[in-house]
Chain A
Amino acid sequence: MATQIRSTSARTTLLDQSRSPKFVSKTHLLTAIVVFTNVVGNICLSHGMQQVGTIVSASPADYLRALLNPWVLAGTCTLAVWMISDLALLSRADLTFVLPVTASAYVFIAIAGHFLLGDHISWQRWLGIVVISLGVILAEETPSLTSAAEYRESPR
Protein backbone atom coordinates (compact mmCIF):
# COMPACT_ATOMS: atom_id res chain seq x y z
CA MET A 1 0.00 0.00 0.00
CA ALA A 2 2.74 2.39 1.01
CA THR A 3 4.68 1.67 -2.18
CA GLN A 4 1.52 2.15 -4.17
CA ILE A 5 1.03 5.63 -2.70
CA ARG A 6 4.70 6.49 -3.24
CA SER A 7 4.67 5.35 -6.84
CA THR A 8 1.50 7.31 -7.47
CA SER A 9 3.14 10.48 -6.19
CA ALA A 10 6.30 9.71 -8.20
CA ARG A 11 4.11 9.37 -11.27
CA THR A 12 2.48 12.74 -10.65
CA THR A 13 5.79 14.52 -10.18
CA LEU A 14 7.15 12.98 -13.35
CA LEU A 15 4.13 14.10 -15.37
CA ASP A 16 4.47 17.57 -13.79
CA GLN A 17 8.18 17.56 -14.62
CA SER A 18 7.43 16.58 -18.20
CA ARG A 19 5.67 19.93 -18.69
CA SER A 20 8.79 21.91 -17.71
CA PRO A 21 10.59 23.72 -20.55
CA LYS A 22 13.82 21.84 -19.71
CA PHE A 23 12.19 18.41 -20.05
CA VAL A 24 10.42 19.44 -23.25
CA SER A 25 13.55 20.87 -24.89
CA LYS A 26 15.50 17.67 -24.05
CA THR A 27 12.74 15.58 -25.61
CA HIS A 28 12.84 17.79 -28.70
CA LEU A 29 16.65 17.51 -28.91
CA LEU A 30 16.38 13.71 -28.67
CA THR A 31 13.66 13.77 -31.37
CA ALA A 32 16.00 15.75 -33.62
CA ILE A 33 18.78 13.18 -33.03
CA VAL A 34 16.37 10.31 -33.85
CA VAL A 35 15.28 11.96 -37.12
CA PHE A 36 18.82 13.02 -38.09
CA THR A 37 20.37 9.55 -37.53
CA ASN A 38 17.44 7.92 -39.37
CA VAL A 39 17.90 10.19 -42.42
CA VAL A 40 21.72 10.01 -42.52
CA GLY A 41 21.75 6.24 -41.85
CA ASN A 42 19.24 5.49 -44.60
CA ILE A 43 20.97 7.71 -47.17
CA CYS A 44 24.41 6.16 -46.45
CA LEU A 45 22.93 2.66 -46.55
CA SER A 46 21.03 3.17 -49.81
CA HIS A 47 24.05 4.87 -51.45
CA GLY A 48 26.29 2.01 -50.33
CA MET A 49 23.87 -0.75 -51.35
CA GLN A 50 23.69 0.75 -54.85
CA GLN A 51 27.47 0.39 -55.06
CA VAL A 52 27.39 -3.16 -53.71
CA GLY A 53 24.57 -4.20 -56.04
CA THR A 54 21.53 -6.40 -55.50
CA ILE A 55 21.97 -9.23 -53.05
CA VAL A 56 19.75 -12.15 -54.06
CA SER A 57 20.85 -14.61 -51.47
CA ALA A 58 19.74 -16.28 -48.29
CA SER A 59 23.30 -16.60 -47.05
CA PRO A 60 24.22 -14.24 -44.18
CA ALA A 61 27.81 -14.18 -45.51
CA ASP A 62 26.69 -12.12 -48.53
CA TYR A 63 25.07 -9.54 -46.26
CA LEU A 64 28.17 -9.43 -44.05
CA ARG A 65 30.31 -8.87 -47.14
CA ALA A 66 28.22 -5.76 -47.92
CA LEU A 67 29.51 -4.33 -44.62
CA LEU A 68 32.97 -4.07 -46.21
CA ASN A 69 31.62 -1.11 -48.18
CA PRO A 70 32.36 2.02 -46.09
CA TRP A 71 28.96 3.60 -46.88
CA VAL A 72 27.10 0.45 -45.82
CA LEU A 73 29.19 0.27 -42.63
CA ALA A 74 28.63 3.97 -41.81
CA GLY A 75 24.89 3.60 -42.52
CA THR A 76 24.58 0.51 -40.34
CA CYS A 77 26.42 2.16 -37.41
CA THR A 78 24.31 5.32 -37.72
CA LEU A 79 21.12 3.23 -37.75
CA ALA A 80 22.33 1.46 -34.59
CA VAL A 81 22.60 4.88 -32.90
CA TRP A 82 19.13 5.64 -34.31
CA MET A 83 17.67 2.48 -32.72
CA ILE A 84 19.07 3.30 -29.25
CA SER A 85 18.02 6.97 -29.53
CA ASP A 86 14.52 5.93 -30.58
CA LEU A 87 14.25 3.73 -27.48
CA ALA A 88 15.63 6.58 -25.32
CA LEU A 89 12.96 8.85 -26.79
CA LEU A 90 10.23 6.30 -26.02
CA SER A 91 11.46 6.28 -22.40
CA ARG A 92 10.34 9.90 -22.04
CA ALA A 93 7.59 10.44 -24.62
CA ASP A 94 4.31 8.84 -25.74
CA LEU A 95 4.28 6.42 -28.69
CA THR A 96 1.49 8.49 -30.26
CA PHE A 97 3.82 11.51 -30.04
CA VAL A 98 6.95 9.71 -31.29
CA LEU A 99 5.35 7.98 -34.31
CA PRO A 100 3.98 11.05 -36.14
CA VAL A 101 6.84 13.36 -35.15
CA THR A 102 9.60 10.99 -36.29
CA ALA A 103 7.69 10.50 -39.57
CA SER A 104 9.35 13.80 -40.56
CA ALA A 105 12.28 11.53 -41.52
CA TYR A 106 10.24 10.54 -44.64
CA VAL A 107 10.15 14.19 -45.67
CA PHE A 108 13.90 14.76 -45.14
CA ILE A 109 14.81 11.49 -46.91
CA ALA A 110 12.70 12.50 -49.94
CA ILE A 111 14.19 16.01 -50.05
CA ALA A 112 17.76 14.76 -49.50
CA GLY A 113 17.22 12.15 -52.23
CA HIS A 114 16.13 14.96 -54.56
CA PHE A 115 19.11 17.24 -53.87
CA LEU A 116 21.88 14.71 -53.19
CA LEU A 117 20.98 11.75 -55.40
CA GLY A 118 18.93 13.62 -58.04
CA ASP A 119 15.66 11.70 -57.48
CA HIS A 120 12.64 13.09 -59.32
CA ILE A 121 9.82 14.37 -57.08
CA SER A 122 6.39 14.25 -58.76
CA TRP A 123 3.53 16.53 -57.67
CA GLN A 124 1.97 13.64 -55.72
CA ARG A 125 5.18 13.25 -53.76
CA TRP A 126 5.36 17.02 -53.04
CA LEU A 127 1.76 16.77 -51.80
CA GLY A 128 2.78 13.81 -49.62
CA ILE A 129 5.65 15.90 -48.17
CA VAL A 130 3.24 18.74 -47.33
CA VAL A 131 0.65 16.37 -45.78
CA ILE A 132 3.23 14.58 -43.59
CA SER A 133 4.66 17.94 -42.48
CA LEU A 134 1.17 19.05 -41.38
CA GLY A 135 0.85 15.84 -39.35
CA VAL A 136 4.26 16.41 -37.76
CA ILE A 137 3.32 20.00 -36.79
CA LEU A 138 -0.01 18.87 -35.28
CA ALA A 139 1.65 16.16 -33.18
CA GLU A 140 4.46 18.54 -32.12
CA GLU A 141 1.82 20.77 -30.51
CA THR A 142 0.57 18.04 -28.15
CA PRO A 143 2.32 17.45 -24.80
CA SER A 144 5.03 14.84 -25.42
CA LEU A 145 4.28 12.74 -22.33
CA THR A 146 0.75 12.05 -21.07
CA SER A 147 1.04 8.50 -19.79
CA ALA A 148 3.51 7.49 -17.13
CA ALA A 149 1.45 4.62 -15.77
CA GLU A 150 4.28 2.21 -16.56
CA TYR A 151 6.95 4.20 -14.72
CA ARG A 152 8.35 2.66 -11.62
CA GLU A 153 9.72 4.98 -8.99
CA SER A 154 12.45 6.71 -10.91
CA PRO A 155 15.80 5.21 -9.84
CA ARG A 156 17.71 8.35 -10.78
Chain B
Amino acid sequence: MKWLLVAIIALSNTAGDLLNTAGMKRIGPVEDLSLRTYLLLCLAIVRSPMVLAGIAALAIGFFAIMSLLSIATVSFAIPATASSYLVETLLAKYLLKEDVRWRRWAAAGLVVIGVILLRW
Protein backbone atom coordinates (compact mmCIF):
# COMPACT_ATOMS: atom_id res chain seq x y z
CA MET B 1 0.00 0.00 0.00
CA LYS B 2 2.84 2.39 0.94
CA TRP B 3 4.70 1.78 -2.28
CA LEU B 4 1.53 1.97 -4.33
CA LEU B 5 0.93 5.44 -2.91
CA VAL B 6 4.57 6.42 -3.58
CA ALA B 7 4.10 5.32 -7.21
CA ILE B 8 0.84 7.28 -7.51
CA ILE B 9 2.50 10.40 -6.03
CA ALA B 10 5.57 10.20 -8.29
CA LEU B 11 3.45 9.51 -11.36
CA SER B 12 0.90 12.26 -10.77
CA ASN B 13 3.50 14.90 -9.79
CA THR B 14 5.58 14.09 -12.86
CA ALA B 15 2.59 14.07 -15.22
CA GLY B 16 1.25 17.28 -13.62
CA ASP B 17 4.51 19.23 -13.97
CA LEU B 18 5.13 18.05 -17.54
CA LEU B 19 1.56 18.85 -18.64
CA ASN B 20 1.67 22.28 -16.98
CA THR B 21 5.02 23.13 -18.57
CA ALA B 22 3.94 22.03 -22.06
CA GLY B 23 0.53 23.72 -21.69
CA MET B 24 1.96 27.01 -20.44
CA LYS B 25 4.50 27.11 -23.26
CA ARG B 26 1.53 26.80 -25.66
CA ILE B 27 -0.25 29.71 -23.97
CA GLY B 28 2.90 31.77 -24.45
CA PRO B 29 5.19 33.81 -22.21
CA VAL B 30 3.51 35.95 -19.57
CA GLU B 31 4.88 39.43 -20.24
CA ASP B 32 4.11 41.49 -17.14
CA LEU B 33 2.88 40.91 -13.61
CA SER B 34 -0.20 43.17 -13.42
CA LEU B 35 -3.54 42.10 -11.95
CA ARG B 36 -5.04 42.24 -15.47
CA THR B 37 -2.42 39.79 -16.76
CA TYR B 38 -3.14 37.44 -13.86
CA LEU B 39 -6.88 37.50 -14.66
CA LEU B 40 -6.24 36.94 -18.38
CA LEU B 41 -3.92 34.10 -17.42
CA CYS B 42 -6.67 32.46 -15.35
CA LEU B 43 -8.97 32.65 -18.41
CA ALA B 44 -6.28 31.11 -20.62
CA ILE B 45 -5.73 28.34 -18.05
CA VAL B 46 -9.39 27.28 -17.84
CA ARG B 47 -9.43 27.12 -21.65
CA SER B 48 -6.31 24.93 -21.80
CA PRO B 49 -7.10 21.20 -21.48
CA MET B 50 -3.39 20.46 -20.96
CA VAL B 51 -2.99 22.79 -17.97
CA LEU B 52 -6.35 21.69 -16.49
CA ALA B 53 -5.20 18.06 -16.73
CA GLY B 54 -1.88 19.08 -15.16
CA ILE B 55 -3.59 20.79 -12.22
CA ALA B 56 -5.88 17.76 -11.77
CA ALA B 57 -2.83 15.46 -11.70
CA LEU B 58 -1.13 17.67 -9.07
CA ALA B 59 -4.34 17.61 -7.00
CA ILE B 60 -4.37 13.78 -7.10
CA GLY B 61 -0.70 13.84 -6.03
CA PHE B 62 -1.53 16.19 -3.14
CA PHE B 63 -4.27 13.91 -1.76
CA ALA B 64 -2.04 10.85 -2.25
CA ILE B 65 0.69 12.56 -0.17
CA MET B 66 -1.88 13.28 2.54
CA SER B 67 -2.93 9.61 2.61
CA LEU B 68 0.69 8.42 2.59
CA LEU B 69 1.51 10.69 5.53
CA SER B 70 -1.42 9.18 7.45
CA ILE B 71 -0.03 5.62 7.11
CA ALA B 72 3.76 6.23 6.91
CA THR B 73 6.34 8.40 8.66
CA VAL B 74 7.65 11.62 7.11
CA SER B 75 11.13 10.06 6.91
CA PHE B 76 9.71 7.39 4.61
CA ALA B 77 7.38 9.61 2.59
CA ILE B 78 9.71 12.50 1.75
CA PRO B 79 12.76 10.54 0.41
CA ALA B 80 10.47 8.26 -1.57
CA THR B 81 8.69 11.15 -3.25
CA ALA B 82 11.68 13.52 -3.59
CA SER B 83 13.28 11.14 -6.10
CA SER B 84 10.61 12.17 -8.63
CA TYR B 85 12.75 15.31 -9.21
CA LEU B 86 15.22 13.12 -11.09
CA VAL B 87 12.50 11.40 -13.15
CA GLU B 88 11.09 14.81 -14.07
CA THR B 89 14.53 16.06 -15.11
CA LEU B 90 14.98 13.01 -17.36
CA LEU B 91 11.55 13.38 -18.97
CA ALA B 92 11.91 17.17 -19.40
CA LYS B 93 15.15 16.53 -21.27
CA TYR B 94 13.65 13.99 -23.68
CA LEU B 95 9.96 14.96 -23.94
CA LEU B 96 10.16 18.75 -23.55
CA LYS B 97 13.60 18.96 -25.25
CA GLU B 98 15.06 21.12 -22.50
CA ASP B 99 18.80 21.65 -22.53
CA VAL B 100 19.80 19.66 -19.44
CA ARG B 101 23.53 19.62 -18.84
CA TRP B 102 25.64 18.79 -15.80
CA ARG B 103 24.62 21.90 -13.84
CA ARG B 104 20.92 21.04 -13.98
CA TRP B 105 21.53 17.35 -13.25
CA ALA B 106 23.69 18.34 -10.28
CA ALA B 107 21.07 20.88 -9.14
CA ALA B 108 18.28 18.26 -9.24
CA GLY B 109 20.49 15.71 -7.43
CA LEU B 110 21.51 18.21 -4.72
CA VAL B 111 17.87 19.20 -4.14
CA VAL B 112 16.88 15.52 -3.70
CA ILE B 113 19.73 14.92 -1.21
CA GLY B 114 18.99 18.21 0.57
CA VAL B 115 15.26 17.51 0.91
CA ILE B 116 16.04 14.04 2.36
CA LEU B 117 18.47 15.59 4.90
CA LEU B 118 15.98 18.33 5.76
CA ARG B 119 13.23 15.84 6.67
CA TRP B 120 15.47 13.35 8.48
- Do A and B pair up? The answer is yes
Q: Which residues of A contact B120 (CB under 8 A)?
A: 122, 124-125, 128
Interchain CA distance A50-B51 in the complex, whole Å: 32
Q: Does A69 count as interface, using CB distance less than 8 angstroms?
A: no
Query: Is A90 touching B21 in the complex (CB atoms < 8 A)?
Result: yes
Q: Which residues of A contact B38 (CB under 8 A)?
A: 84, 88
The size class of the interface chain B forms with chain A is 35 or more
B residues 36-59 touching A (CB-CB < 8 Å): 37-38, 41-42, 45, 51, 55
Instruction: Report the minimal beta-carbon distance from B26 to chain A, rounded to whole angstroms.
Output: 5
Interface of B is mostly: helix
Partner of A136, one of B18, B37, B107: B107
The count of residues in chain A whose C-beta lies closer than 8 Å to any C-beta of chain B is 50
Query: Is A99 touching B28 in the complex (CB atoms < 8 A)?
Result: no
Q: Which residues of A contact B92 (CB under 8 A)?
A: 94-96
A residues whose Cβ falls under 8 Å from a Cβ of B: 14, 26, 29-30, 33, 83-84, 87-88, 90-92, 94-100, 103, 106, 110, 122, 124-125, 127-136, 138-139, 141-143, 146-152, 154-156
B residues whose Cβ falls under 8 Å from a Cβ of A: 17-18, 20-22, 24-33, 37-38, 41-42, 45, 51, 55, 85, 88-89, 92-93, 96-101, 103-104, 106-111, 113-120
